[in-house]
A = this chain, B = another copy of it.
Amino acid sequence: MSITPNTAESRVRQQARAAKQAAQFLATTSIELRNSALEAISEELIASEQAILAANALDIEAARLEGVHESLIDRLMLNPERLAGCRQALAELIASSDVLGEVVEGRTITQGIHMKQVRVPLGVVGMIYEARPNVTIDAASIAIKTGNSILLRGGKIAQQTNDVLVEVLRRALLKTGLPEEALQNLDARSRDSADELMKLHGLVDVLIPRGGAGLIKSVVENSKVPVIETGTGNCHAYLHKAAEPEMALSIVMNAKTQRPSVCNAIESLLVDRSVADILLPAILAALADAGVTLVCDEEAKTIASAQNIPEGMLLDASEEDWGTEYLDMTISVKVVSGIDEAIAHINAYGSSHSEAIITDDYAAAQKFTTGVDAAAVYVNASTRFCDGGLFGLGAEIGISTQKLHARGPMGAKALTSTKYILEGNGQVRA
């Protein structure tokens, strides 16, 4: 591999090379230096708040002119409260301990050689994300905390906001004596920068897509850079025959209606046939009252119909519904013969994110948690708890639904690898 830069190479490739160079320096930095960079970021965010909000206002105006949906405008928007929230997250990140240098295992091996497996930065992180500028700050901060460089490719409707944010972040690095090349902002105005980023196997160590199912699928299928697949959440709540009715109702309501557009909300309700008549009436009525459309199999529909649920709120489920992540006030409902069918159904249709059972039966709880193949399984608790902060991981980069490297809510450790260090005094292999 030549180390001479090719003048014809893409801008993204040049940015990746610069980031890789910077990462080699970052790998040698102390936690004190990295934390002071994060403190400098916090200070610069305060000092530049007006400039950040001004750029954000330009992005919002342009987005409105283009007819972007209000819910997306809301995700794009920054304000003093949201920026304060980012600084709070930064403070918690600064306070968190260093994951680098952890000795994962170590022992004295053959012939007295001392071996240790230590935690090290990944190197260069790539993030392709849709228009949520707080992700720019969060991701850059976690990257710096863990000694990584980062290539940020945000959504094009947030370009001006992200341009200013990355300038601000880079200023903080310079102030601290760290290379500003560690933070690279990619031009999101065309698709090319994402396509190019996905080719950079060898320069970029991991690519994390955050956004809708289409974005994630595209990155997972096309990237030559290793990907950590995040967060589509086709989550289920399964009401086992030994479910306590009040608990079932309150968990289902919380998991569906509290924030229906997030990945850890449930999309599907499964109920044991032997208790469907006992549990479903109150639950389906409460869901419909709250404005949730019920997409039911025949048995659930029969029960729902007896609850005076308005016709428009009660639909027939097709097989496609079992695999659908509605991300809104809609839920599919299926009556199952028992726990075996529930587990098989979840394993077939779920997205391996968060799956809950409500039951007072010990053996059923054990069977469910062992048999369901998902990042997180819950007994008698809402799937809405699936969150890095709540899990005690500190910062959260995203929620991985894949099995390799990281699974479930991803904290700082997800941006690290390990290295074996062997120290001898002249040993050769016999």
Residues of A in contact with B (beta carbons under 8 Å apart):
1-3, 24, 27-28, 107, 109-110, 113, 115, 117, 122-123, 201, 205-206, 220-221, 224, 226, 228, 244, 246-247, 250-251, 253-255, 258, 319, 323, 344, 347-349, 365, 369-371, 373-382, 384-386, 390-392, 402-405, 407-409, 417-429
Contacts and interface: CB of A to CB of B under 8 A. Distances in A.
Given A24-B347, A370-B28, A422-B385, A323 B377 contact: no
A417 B369 CA distance: 14
Q: Which 7 A-B pairs rank lowest in CB-CB distance, beginning with the nearest?
A: A381-B424, A254-B428, A403-B417, A384-B429, A376-B420, A405-B405, A404-B405
Contacts of A378: 421-424
Contacts of A247: 425-426
A1 B423 contact: no
A420 B391 contact: yes
Nearest to A358: B426
Nearest to A345: B3
For this chain, the copies found in one complex come to 2
7 contacts: A113-B385, A247-B425, A254-B429, A381-B427, A385-B422, A407-B417, A408-B420
Contacts of A115: 391-392
A402 B226 contact: yes
B2 A319 contact: yes
A245 to B, nearest CB: 11
B424 A379 contact: yes
Most buried by B among A2, A205, A226, A255: A226
A228 B379 CA distance: 33
A117 B375 CA distance: 10
Nearest to A420: B376
Contact of A107 (B1, B319, B392, B407): B392
A270 to B, nearest CB: 15
Given A382-B429, A404-B404, A419 B377 contact: yes
A389 B427 CA distance: 17
A371 B423 contact: no
Contact of A391 (B109, B226, B323): B109
Nearest to A2: B319
A253 B379 CA distance: 59
Given A417-B403, A423-B380, A373 B1 contact: no
Report which residue of A24, A224, A384 has the largest number of chain B beta carbons within 10 angstroms of its beta carbon: A24
B369 A421 contact: yes
A407 B381 contact: no
A392 B224 contact: no
Contacts of A382: 427-429
A376 B117 CA distance: 9
A201 B223 CA distance: 14
Nearest to A226: B404
Nearest to A377: B421
B422 A377 contact: yes
B381 A419 contact: no
Given A382-B427, A426-B250, A348 B404 contact: no
Contact of A403 (B205, B251, B427): B205
A391 B422 CA distance: 10
B250 A428 contact: yes
A317 to B, nearest CB: 14
A128 B392 CA distance: 39
B376 A419 contact: yes
Contact of A109 (B228, B390, B404, B428): B390
A327 to B, nearest CB: 17
A429 B426 CA distance: 58
